[in-house]
Amino acid sequence: MRNCLCEQTLRIDIIISIFLPRRDIAGVNLGRPKGYSKKVQRICSESGDIEALLASGATMSSVAKLYKVHRNTLARCRRMHYFEEK
């Protein structure tokens, strides 16, 4: 059992050492895009409601608490133009 795990780990290390540099040189993104988590997707889907709340005088902190995200996450989404320009 232990030998099988060691062999499997060695095979994975070889695969990673061969294919990841090729992908990196080719310019392929490795991993998820920065800032594209489930929280950001949820906030973006509700962008109209969030902008309406902010326009009506709600604070950024109160809106962030309502959507259960940190206020910096909400501010970053607005700053990075995830919300549609109106």
| Residues 55, 66: Cα–Cα separation, whole Å | 15
Q: In the predicted model, what is the mean pLDDT of the chain? A: 78
Asked if residue 13 has pLDDT above 70, the reply is: yes
Encode burial over 63-85: b for 16+ CB neighbours within 10 A, e otherwise: bbeeeebeeebbeebbeeeebee
Asked if residue 66 has pLDDT above 70, the reply is: yes
Please say whether the beta carbons of 76 and 37 come within 8 A. no
Give Cβ neighbours of residue 43 (< 8 Å, ≥ 6 apart): 50, 67, 69, 73, 74, 77, 82
Which pLDDT does position 38 carry in this prediction? 78
* pTM exceeds 0.75 for this model: no
Encode burial over 23-35: b for 16+ CB neighbours within 10 A, e otherwise: eeeeeeeeeeeee
pLDDT band at 58 (very low <50, low <70, confident <90, very high): very high
